[in-house]
A and B are shown apart, each in its own frame.
Chain A
Amino acid sequence: MNAPYNAAAPLLDEIDRCLIRATQGGLPLLPKPYEAIAARVGIPESEVHQRLAAMLENGVIRRIGAVPNHYALGYTANGMSVWNVDDAVIDAAGEKVGALSFVTHCYRRPRRLPDWPYNLFAMVHGASRAEVMAHVDEIRALLAHGFPGAERGHEVLFSTAILKKTGLRLRD
């Protein structure tokens, strides 16, 4: 699952970059969206399909679809749980935590000692803070049972406002 930074990164040509610029704001809401993109980029629609399929294949595009606004869907509480987990078991623990149904993102990141001792980040969404905290307690219990003594502290950072959410923007 881990995207290797740069290692054997597939190179995009100028047409791919045009295609990214033409779609990074979203797909046209027209009956033939790929035809509209093809006209903008100046290539046949079949080539748009082929290039997007290739980018899906090599992972440059994760998926094509809708990104829901968690708040608007009733998941009004969003807690970034952060955990200080023994390096010896972090990857095994991370796989278990990521598999929990309420965890939407799960990453290993570097500690920033002395201020920041946490190396496991697990995003938890819920309908309320209480629901999020109950889920966080499930994570704590899972770590305590699966990896006794490996968890040395955690915190939950609740979000109180979305300040920006635009996604990727390539410069022109």
Chain B
Amino acid sequence: MSEGLPPPRDPIDEIDRRLINSLQGDFPLSHRPYGVVADRLGIGEEEVIRRLRRLLADRVLTRFGPMFQIERAGGAFCLAAMEVPGERWSTVVAQVNLRPEVAHNYRREHRLNMWFVLATETPDGIEACAREIEQSTGLAVHLFPKEREYFVGMKLEVR
């Protein structure tokens, strides 16, 4: 799936903003969690669900649910980069994105112009997947494993 810069959508209103900001924290583990969020915002449960459905359909939100850190379960994440020649760009995008291990992929302005994140169920899977991408594309894959994560907190406010 390839996509350009900002997707067309209805403008988000003040309630959407408050909803998105409140959902960047912890979503309740309860029988009717959308109702709990609705009470906090002073709107109805159905409205929370309807707004979430629209925000996801319009791609204002890319997902809603648990965010897994697979390395805590024995798996691994790894940033990877490739230098893809312009004339082969769309073919290589398709080859790389085809792999389920590729969780995100971004085009960036640099000699290394494709940056993606591999997520695998075992640490060995990263190296194996990188080598397979090298074989299928004939291009080098540089791996940039996380050696240390510095605390950033949750701070991207919707404005």
Cβ A33 vs Cβ B33 within 8 A: yes
In the complex, what's the smallest C-beta–C-beta distance from B121 to chain A, in angstroms? 7
Cβ A63 vs Cβ B33 within 8 A: no
Chain A residue at minimal CB-CB distance from B94: A163
Cβ A66 vs Cβ B64 within 8 A: yes
* Inter-chain contacts of B115 with A (CB < 8 A): 80, 157, 159
A75 at the B interface (CB under 8 A)? yes
* Inter-chain contacts of B104 with A (CB < 8 A): 162, 164-167
Cβ B69 vs Cβ A60 within 8 A: yes
Q: Which of A99-107, A132-140, A142-150 contacts B (4 or more CB under 8 A)?
A: A99-107
Cβ A69 vs Cβ B62 within 8 A: yes
Cβ A94 vs Cβ B150 within 8 A: yes
> Which of B3, B60, B63, B150 gathers most chain A CB within 10 Å?
B150
Interchain Cβ contacts within 8 Å, total number:
271
Interface string of A47-60 (1 = CB under 8 A from B): 00100110110111
In the complex, what's the smallest C-beta–C-beta distance from B29 to chain A, in angstroms? 5
* Inter-chain contacts of B106 with A (CB < 8 A): 78, 159, 161-163
Please, how many angstroms separate the alpha-carbon atoms of A49 and B4 in the complex? 38
In the complex, what's the smallest C-beta–C-beta distance from B34 to chain A, in angstroms? 6
Query: Given A108-B148, A109-B146, do A76 and B6 touch, yes or no (CB 8 Å)?
Result: yes
Interface size class of B (residues with CB under 8 A): 35 or more
A110 at the B interface (CB under 8 A)? yes
Cβ B149 vs Cβ A2 within 8 A: yes
What number of A residues sit within 8 Å (CB to CB) of B? 86
In the complex, what's the smallest C-beta–C-beta distance from B114 to chain A, in angstroms? 7
Partner among A2, A110, A155, A164 whose Cβ is within 8 Å of the Cβ of B144:
A110
Cβ A164 vs Cβ B97 within 8 A: yes
Cβ A68 vs Cβ B31 within 8 A: no
Query: Given A2-B149, A65-B26, A71-B7, do A25 and B69 touch, yes or no (CB 8 Å)?
Result: no
* Inter-chain contacts of B9 with A (CB < 8 A): 72
Partner among B26, B72, B146 whose Cβ is within 8 Å of the Cβ of A60:
B72
Q: Could you list 5 examples of A-B contacts with CB < 8 Å?
A: A20-B68, A27-B65, A49-B30, A73-B159, A169-B119
**B binding-site residues for A, Cβ under 8 Å:** 1-7, 9, 12, 20, 23-27, 29-35, 45-46, 49, 52-53, 55-56, 58-74, 76, 79, 93, 96-97, 100-110, 112, 114-116, 119, 121, 123, 142, 144-152, 154-156, 158-159
Known A65-B25, A108-B148, A109-B144; 15 more pairs at CB < 8 Å: A2-B146, A3-B149, A11-B74, A26-B63, A27-B65, A31-B46, A33-B34, A60-B69, A61-B68, A63-B27, A66-B52, A98-B150, A107-B147, A107-B149, A161-B106
